Structure formats: structure tokens, C-alpha cells
Amino acid sequence: MKKTLSTFAFLLFTFYLSFAQIDMGLPSATGKGGAANGIVKDWECIGINPANLGWKNNYDFSLSGLIVGMSVQSRALDYNQLMKAVQNSTDTFTAADKKAFADLFTCEDGLNMQTNINWLTLSFKVPKIGGFAFNIRDRAFGHVTLNKNTADILFNGMNAAIFKDTMKLLTTPISQIIDGSKIGYTHYREMNLAYGTKLFGFGGTSDSSAVSFYGGIGVKYIWGLDNMELYVDNAVLQGHTAMSSSAVKYGTIKGFTPETPSGLFPASGSGTGLDLGLGVGIGKLKVTFSAVDMGSITWDKNVLVAKDTLMPKPSQFSYGGLNSWNLAEQGNHMFNDAGIIKFKPGPAYKTSLPAMFRAGVGYQVTKRFVAGADLVMPMSDNPANLQHAFYALGAEVGLANNLFISLGVAGNTNYGFAMPFGITLAHFFKVCELRVATNDILTYISPGKNPNISFSLSFFRINYTRK
């Protein structure tokens, strides 16, 4: 499964904003555009706001698994091209395809993706102590921005225009030729433990305070599975990678022998993270704040660093360009002494997590109607993190005891405007619920430029509360 996920993420090429970073791939949050901080409860609090585990309306016990969320956005491809890349990743490119993609990918945010898979998650509460939650989750981020030369070389290989200019090849460093390009991919697995409780309250009764204050903390251990960052800014080339040998096919690199990391999971690195949350409840109103994903990963297996050199001569370069969107199977063209970018073994390095500050408000209008709004801002300079503040406004309406509809509006200056939508079938087989949601229903209703193909799906959820 690891290879499948890595291949899938790599095929979408490889950090930046996608809605799944805000909603954590949870259908309940996806359908509201990420308006979640003042609404989510039980194990859904993990990675959003652990303080919500102290709420009185949490279930005594809740269990779920195999929750999948994915978001892919592109300024380079239109809806049909992006959908074809997702659904038919192994289709072979024609010469015309390569030329067209080389022209299309000369733009910022050519492709962004994020995937979340919750393998197992549960929560429970202990009277007068608080709520506890646990999950194991995979997260993958990818981003690509290419300048004209980089896109031409990537798709057309030795047929790119740059190889016809012999003088430029002999005198110009690669960093000047591909200046402005950014390529990134990270995949890690995290184990989360979270706790939230009511800190104190005043007014009302002993069982229900008029005003309640909540606090929570979440800690995570992280297995860093794969990482690659390559970016050129003002003709300065920087890059490093730590990929497991099962994620990509390596070519021949002098002094480097890829290894398959051992341990519980085949990780190329490890790290820790911290989530903190606070909240205030006033009747049906919740006002919440959290700081999440504060931490880092140290990568120390299969480490390679990029070095700046002159472009290879045509006689030294036999790459014919990408043949399909299945990039993991073509990795030997990138990680190879005969490739465009030269890599060499390097020391361990550290990357920060995409830390964010979140503020939210939630209001339980009626038993079947809840509304909320969120503001999310970046706290770290991780390339996968937000670049600007993100806003979301969402609601969930119950049309029947077992049918709920979610909708909202969300976006920021980088991503644009989106309209999320979701459906929930509650009490499915009496004890389960089925949820499906998308970050932007407009992509499917009226496909156009800058499409965002996304979905979030949970197959089952078992909730239990003592009568």
C-alpha cells in the first residue's frame, strides 16, 4: 500500500496549498470548506483542535477507519486534462502531448496535491476527566512550478530547444536555465494522541455552565517516508531528497547505494509534532483557537543533495522526456548521474511541519442545523504550507434523521473561490454512517480553468453513548 500511495502522489508530481490541508481529508470538514474549528468533535478534533474533546456532546465512544481525502488542483491543466491524468496515469504521451504539456506548464502552481488517509481512528471520554483520541494517518503533499526551460526539458527531453544552443550549454549553469522552478513532494505517517477537557466554567448549573472554557493538547510521532525538495530562486539552486528505494527507481549515482529502511515502517526519517487548543462555550456558541502541526522531521536515510553544474551535452544526455504521468517508474531519469540535475550523497537534514494557527466559531442553531466559520494562517515557512490567510464559511443541515447536507464557501488569494458540498447518511445499518464530500462542487458543475478535483470519503463510523 505504501508503494501505491507513493506512486499515486508522485504521479501527480510533486508542496503548496490544497484544501485537504485545511480539512484534513475529513468529509465532515470537507463539505464545509474547512469550517471546522468550532464544529468538529470526537476523533475529528485531531489535527484541528484537541480542546473540542472536552465538549459535553462528544460520544462516549466513536470509531472509524479508512477515511480517504484527496485534492488535486492545477493552473496548467484544464478539467479534462487533469481528470485524465488522475484516472489514466499510465497512458503513453504522444509527441503532440509532450509539446502541449511543455507549453502549458510554464505557470506558477502548475500542479498541487494533497492526500490524507486515516487508517484507524477512535475517541472516548471519561466523566470528569475529559476526552481522548487516537489515530494513525498518512499525509502526502506535492507541488510543481516550472519555468519555460524546465517544462521543455521535462516533457521533451533531449528534443528541448535548449539543446540546440551549444554555446549556452557550455557556459550557462543549470541554476540560471531553470531559475524560478520549484518541485516538492513529501509523504509521512503520523500517530496522534490527543486529550481535551473542560478547564472551568461559571454560571448556570453544576452540570451545565453558562460559560465554559476548554483546553487540549495533541502529540504526534512521525515516520518520514519520502521527501524531495528542489527549488531555484535568483539563480541559486537548492535541493535535497530522502526517498525509500520502494518509492522510486534510482539510477546510477556515484558513491550512493539506496537502502530499504528497516523498522515498523520503512521510514527515511522521523520526527515529532504538537497541537494545542483552547475554546470557549457560551450556550450554543463555540469560539475556538488552536495551533497545530508544530514540529519537524529529520531525514537521515538515502539522503541526496543537488549540486549546480553546467547543462549536459546532447551526447551525454539520452532522456526523451516524460512518457506518462506515472513518474515514480521514471525516477531513474531524475536520480541519475546522467540526468539534468546532479545529486550526491549528503548529510541528514530537517524540514518543518506545515504549522498553522486556526481560529473558528461554531453555532448549533438547532439539533439539525449547525454553522461555522474559520480563519487559518501559516506559522512556518514549509513550502507545503499556506502562503496567505484562508477563510471558510460552512453549514450542515439535516433534511431527515439520517440525511444531512453540508455546503459553504471558502478560499484565499492563491487558491481562489470554491463552493464545498457534502452528503451524510447517518444511522447506516443502525450503528454506522457514510459520508462523501468535495472541496469544490463548481469544478464538476462548470469545469473551467484552475480546476480542483477533490473528494473525501468515510465508509463507516460507529458511535456509542450510554443512555
49-104: pLDDT as tens digits? 999 999 999 999 999 988 988 887 777 777 777 777 777 777 888 888 888 888 87
Q: Which residue has the higher pLDDT, 22 or 97?
A: 97
pLDDT exceeds 80 at position 207: no
Total number of residues shown for the chain: 467
Instruction: Report the alpha-carbon distance of residue 458 to residue 437 in Å, rounded.
Output: 9
Cβ atoms of 57 and 50 within 8 Å: the answer is no
CATH of the domain at 232: 2.40.160
Nine-digit cell string for 296: 519537524
pLDDT value of position 430: 63
Residue 6: what pLDDT?
38
Say yes or no to pLDDT of 2 above 50.
Answer: no
Q: Under a CB-based contact definition with an 8 Å cutoff, are residues 30 and 454 in contact?
A: yes
pLDDT at 273 (0 to 100): 96
Q: Which residue type sits at 417?
A: F
| Percent above pLDDT 90 for the chain | 34
Query: Cell digits for 405?
Result: 447536507
pLDDT at 33: 87
Residue 18: predicted pLDDT: 45
Per-residue confidence (pLDDT) for residue 17, from 0 to 100: 38
φ and ψ at 245, to 5 degrees?
A: -65, -15
The pTM is what?
0.85
Residue-wise over 95-123: b if at least 16 C-beta within 10 A, else e? Answer: eebbbebbebbbeebbbbbbbbbbeebbb
149-162 pLDDT, tens per residue? 888 888 888 888 88
Question: How confident is the model over 173-181, as a mean pLDDT?
Answer: 88
Q: Is 354 helix (H, G, I), strand (E, B) or coil?
A: coil
Domain, as residue range, for 346: 2-464
Q: What percent of the chain has pLDDT over 70?
A: 87
> What pLDDT, on the 0 to 100 scale, is given for residue 49?
96
pLDDT-derived band of residue 130, with 50, 70 and 90 as boundaries?
very high
Helix (H) or strand (E) holding 443: helix 442-445
**E strand or H helix at 366:** strand 356-366
Of 90-99, 188-197, 267-276, which range is least confident?
90-99
Are residues 299 and 268 in contact, defined by beta-carbon separation less than 8 angstroms? Answer: yes
User: 40-49, 79-88, 127-136, 226-235: which range is least confident on average?
Assistant: 79-88
Query: What is the mean pLDDT of the segment spanning 423-452?
Result: 79
Question: How many structural domains compose the chain?
Answer: 1
